[in-house]
Structure 1
Amino acid sequence: MFTSSRRVASAAALVGLLSLGLSACGGGTTKDSTAAQGGGGQTTGSAPASADPNAPIKEGLKIAFLPKQINNPYETIVDKAGIEAAGEYKGEAKEVGPSDASASSQVSYINTLIQQKQDAILIAANDANAVCGPLKQAMSKGIKVVAYDSDAAKDCRNLFINQASSEEIGRSQVKMLSDQIGGKGEIAILSATANATNQNAWIEFMKDELGKPEYKDLKLVKVAYGDDDDQKSFQETQGLLQAYPDLKGIISPTTVGISAASRYISGSKYKGKVAVTGLGTPNQMREYVKNGTVKEFALWNPKDLGYLASFSAAALASGRITGAEGEKFTAGKLGEFTIGKDGEIILGPPFTFNAENIDEFDF
């Protein structure tokens, strides 16, 4: 996602920010001395932790990225950037995770990371509640928990690194599709998993936006779930078009889904008749933008998301921040961030990609 000193407005500035290719000093809390914190800086122990904004980042921090699924191209970009960021503060980072995005698939990995005594676990939760028990256990042992991309329950993590405001993402997706189809017709949403926190939040704002008078001629006929699986998302797209022959557009706010939907429509009779938009990476979507299947879509810089998540975890584990609202910290080259309500940190607004600018990006 693109940010303020971080939040650059022009594509040229974005390219400069991205280069762009597509999360042993004292002064802070330690695993042994302080009770684990919950979301928003609340502690599970008897005394609240206090932040030392001048504390140095500890060398040798052990952090682990736990994505929704290990083979998700988008999350691979996020995690790789976060692992590389750890090198800047002399930490040790890795990625582990399941090959499927089921609700409970991440639990065993959390348990293993607890046994390995990681300093921080960074998780893109498949299900906000399914991972809560083991994450609380990690926090009780002084391990910091940072959710990114898809939130865990608020009392099961210290921070949530959000790509953009959920409201901004959801409402902008509706406006984008409406503009492409002239504000009229049947539309569908192709989501990831039914339990994905981020997807559900965006969809709720989409539905609310559709309730406005200016969208009275748009009708949401179906929310389908491709489970962040390419083949299932492809089949769900086919099923939508068979079930709703008058469908005019599909919003797929997931990189796996938008790519699969675009691939299906690109090779079908619906090309040029059914609009597709959502959230995707330029490298995934370039072919479909250039062949006219997709007019425009949106995303943030996933590299920046991983980078920010990594530095947030380091700041937590070093005692620079506790996760309390109003605390500030510097995330390397991205500059200063302020923690918002419920321990949420927003990277910045999404960016729209189209035929005019897509070749300026490589991720």
Structure 2
Amino acid sequence: MFKPFKSIRGPALCAALIAVSAAAMIPVSASAADLKKDLKIAFLPKQINNPYEVIADDGGLAAIKEMGGQGKVVGPSDAGASSQVQYINTLITQRQDAIVIAANDANAVVPYLKKAMAQGVKVVTFDSDTAPDGRQIFVNQANSEGIGRGQVQLMSKLIGGEGEFAILSATPNATNQNTWIKWMEEELKKPEYSKMKLVKIAYGNDDDQKSFVETQGLLQAYPNLKGIISPTTVGIAAAARYISTSPAKGKVEVTGLGTPNQMRAFIKNGTVKAFQLWDPGQLGYLAAYAAANLASGTITGKEGDSFDAGKLGKRTVGKSGEVVLGPPTTFDSSNIDNFNF
């Protein structure tokens, strides 16, 4: 006969349960030394040829090299809602340790990312999130509310707090764009913006030529337009390029989110007075470290977990698995030459 296990009772049982419960509630804190070597981490941008995405992906690849892993970038040439699906399936087959994705659509890729996670692939979204059940961590460039409200505040300064303005967004399904626009609209409800009017939200689909044509259409449709906010690096550059050679130069203010290198000429020639952004290279770098820590098992992505992110220092996972890079910088003629990205 088998002897029954000796049961644990009384104080001993209570102590054991308390110890287990306490251990489960203690947030994980990881250092770079805890990372596995030779991790395979793939970056999947919205578009493979998007200048902003290239900078972000390069930052991620630099981090992966720094930690002794194997990095790669794959992705579509268009920003369609389902254009990333085939790449996710391929990366699963290749048995990547982690996928870092800037999602073109909040929901279209979720079933495939769930499949990846079910097979042990860790998933990090960055720049543009999916629904929360499609990933373990979202690395956000900055607080979404702060970005959206900040764009309206900057436009208000540029046009003197009154007049018509438009938004030139990326794709209609872009999670990040839509979130920022929601907060722009919230900011506009404040009484100090009562003389400002949002007349149109246009979509350039993160395509240079379409964004250029959409800018032309906005100026034709709204002859009293005083400003355009384009919270996409492709859109702001295309809008500035159109206005720089049109009669609207000096009359219509262009702002939004762009990189210093692509916008420097427009600042210098007076087409654009100010715009904002964070360092996309650092965004990719942080996302790579988040992915590596997940794949190494040093964190799980729950709120309170913290990890070493190389040169960016220790970072902590917040609510809903969000890790925030930091606040955006406002670039103008006084500081743009201090930045090179």
With structure 2 as the length reference, what TM-score do the two structures score?
0.91
Aligned to 1:285: 263
Q: Does 1:73 align with 2:51?
A: yes
Instruction: Structure 2: state its 5+ residue gaps.
Output: 1-23
Q: Which has the higher contact order (CA 8 A, sep 6+)?
A: 1
* Bigger-Rg structure (1/2): 2
How many equivalent pairs are there? 316
Correspondent of 2:290 among 312, 318, 333: 312
What amino acid sits opposite 2:51 in the alignment?
Answer: P
Aligned to 1:186: 164
Aligned to 1:169: 147
Aligned to 1:202: 180
Q: Structure 2: how far apart are the matches of 1:347 and 1:330?
A: 13
Backbone CA RMSD of aligned residues:
1.3
Kindly indicate whether the alpha-carbon contact (under 8 Å) linking 2:29 and 2:306 is maintained by their aligned counterparts in 1. no
Secondary structure of 2:30's counterpart equals coil
Secondary structure of 2:181's counterpart equals helix
Q: Structure 2: how far apart are the matches of 1:53 and 1:206?
A: 37
Correspondent of 1:252 among 230, 235, 239: 230
Q: Does 1:58 align with 2:45?
A: no
Q: Structure 2: how far apart are the matches of 1:75 and 1:110?
A: 17
Correspondent of 2:128 among 134, 141, 150: 150
Aligned to 1:345: 323
Aligned to 1:39: none
Aligned to 2:305: 327
Please state how far the C-alpha of 1:303 moved relative to its aligned partner: 1.0
What amino acid sits opposite 1:170 in the alignment?
Answer: G
With structure 1 as the length reference, what TM-score do the two structures score?
0.86
Aligned to 1:354: 332
Q: Does 1:125 align with 2:85?
A: no
Q: Structure 1: how far apart are the matches of 2:164 and 2:206?
A: 23
Deviations for 1:18-72, whole angstroms, at most 9, x for unmatched residues? xxxxxxxxxxxxxxxxxxxxxxxxxxxxx99x95736710000000000000000
Aligned to 2:92: 114
Kindly indicate whether the alpha-carbon contact (under 8 Å) linking 1:53 and 1:319 is maintained by their aligned counterparts in 2. no
Q: 1:219 to 1:91 in 2, by over 3 A?
A: same
Kindly indicate whether the alpha-carbon contact (under 8 Å) linking 1:78 and 1:304 is maintained by their aligned counterparts in 2. yes
Kindly indicate whether the alpha-carbon contact (under 8 Å) linking 1:170 and 1:206 is maintained by their aligned counterparts in 2. yes
Q: Structure 2: how far apart are the matches of 1:146 and 1:179?
A: 36
Q: Structure 1: how far apart are the matches of 2:320 and 2:120?
A: 19
Correspondent of 2:273 among 279, 288, 295: 295
Q: Structure 2: how far apart are the matches of 1:176 and 1:122?
A: 31
What amino acid sits opposite 2:30 in the alignment?
Answer: P
Aligned to 2:192: 214
Please state how far the C-alpha of 1:153 moved relative to its aligned partner: 1.0
Aligned to 2:247: 269
Instruction: Structure 1: state its 5+ residue gaps.
Output: 1-46
Aligned to 1:26: none
Aligned to 1:139: 117
Kindly indicate whether the alpha-carbon contact (under 8 Å) linking 1:248 and 1:274 is maintained by their aligned counterparts in 2. yes
Q: Structure 2: how far apart are the matches of 1:53 and 1:168?
A: 29
Deviations for 1:160-219, whole angstroms, at most 9, x for unmatched residues? 000000000000000001001000000100000000000000000000000100000000
Q: Structure 2: how far apart are the matches of 1:165 and 1:143?
A: 27
Q: Structure 1: how far apart are the matches of 2:267 and 2:29?
A: 48
Secondary structure of 2:68's counterpart equals coil
Q: Does 1:225 align with 2:207?
A: no
Secondary structure of 1:233's counterpart equals helix
Kindly indicate whether the alpha-carbon contact (under 8 Å) linking 1:281 and 1:299 is maintained by their aligned counterparts in 2. yes
Aligned to 2:74: 96
Alignment identity in percent? 68
Which of the pair is proportionally richer in helix?
Answer: 2
Please state how far the C-alpha of 1:281 moved relative to its aligned partner: 0.3
Q: Structure 2: how far apart are the matches of 1:132 and 1:315?
A: 22
Matching of residues 30-41 of structure 1 within 5 Å? none
Secondary structure of 1:320's counterpart equals coil
Secondary structure of 1:64's counterpart equals strand
Q: Structure 1: how far apart are the matches of 2:284 and 2:65?
A: 13
Kindly indicate whether the alpha-carbon contact (under 8 Å) linking 1:192 and 1:228 is maintained by their aligned counterparts in 2. yes
